[in-house]
Amino acid sequence: MTMPVLLLTADDALYRHWAGLGGLAGSGWAPARGHRLSELTAWSRRGVLVIMDARLLPKARSDIPDVPAGLQVVVASTHPGDPEGQRALIAGAVGYVHAYMPLTGLERVLRHVMGGEIWVGRGMLSRMLSQIGQSTPESSQDWGRDLTVRERDVARYVALGHSNQSIADNLGITERTVRAHISAIFDKLGVSDRLMLALRVHGIDQPTSQTTPGDADL
């Protein structure tokens, strides 16, 4: 069964990268072409996925329309950056990727967002976690009551955006042990990724699950 996906870009070269020979059209997807942001409305409530060229976004944050109901939009940028990515996510996008990422990676992103998850790059996720940690104090609620003392320590470092290696260095343990602790923390707290864990630690209502490339979730 083919899955519909709207490819929204005015750049012919970028469209060919997404849908051309060896692209999505030959991988179980049914790509359609769009050129302008205004075309999103016509596709609303169809339940389709959209890959949208970030250059179609208005420059002013206040001018970015909300994503129409029924669409899952992945914004693809030729020059990715945190401000642009955050603007896209605030508007309701479920993903932010490099426009020319390999097609195998793009397919992986599409299948993840089909499952109700959000996809951003590893570095951007780390910076988002750091910003949350700096702007929001740890929740006074006993979020870690089911965790061991070491698991609480690991969870706090994760919530501040530290990498596994940084956590290992700070706690004097191996990176493999850090991974094991994070896996146990996810299971005990019922979260699926680092962003959800950070929100739990800081007592913020949790949005849809966030997934990042590779092994960034652990």
pLDDT of 202 over the 50 cut: yes
Which has more confidence, 48 or 156?
A: 156
Q: How far is CA 1 from CA 29, 43, 112, 191, 201, in A?
A: 8, 20, 17, 31, 41
Task: Provide the pLDDT for residue 63.
Answer: 61
pLDDT of 10 over the 80 cut: yes
**Residues 35-54 pLDDT 10s:** 998 888 888 766 789 999 99
How many angstroms from the chain centroid is the CA of residue 211? 5
0.75 exceeded by pTM: no
What counts of helices (H) and strands (E) characterise the chain? Answer: 9, 7
**Residues 81-139 pLDDT 10s:** 888 887 787 777 888 999 999 988 898 899 888 877 778 877 777 776 666 666 555 65
Residue 113 to residue 120: CA distance in whole angstroms: 11
Strand partners, 74: 51, 95
Per-residue pLDDT, averaged over 184-213, amounts to 71
- Per-chain mean pLDDT for the chain: 81
Q: Which amino acid appears at position 95 of this protein?
A: G
State both tokens at 104: 């195998």
Task: Provide the pLDDT for residue 75.
Answer: 93
Taking alpha carbons only, the member of 77, 69, 85 closest to residue 51 is 77
Residue 164 to residue 173: CA distance in whole angstroms: 10
Share of the chain above pLDDT 90, in %: 31
Residues 6+ apart with CB under 8 A from 30: 2, 3, 4, 5
Burial class (CB in 10 A: 0-12, 13-18, 19+), 150: middle
With the C-alpha atoms ordered 35, 22, 215, 191, is the resulting torsion angle positive or negative? Answer: positive
**Residues 64-82 pLDDT 10s:** 667 777 788 999 999 988 8
Sketch out the chain's domains with CATH numbers: 3-120 (3.40.50.2300), 124-211 (1.10.10.10)
Residues 6+ apart with CB under 8 A from 16: 23
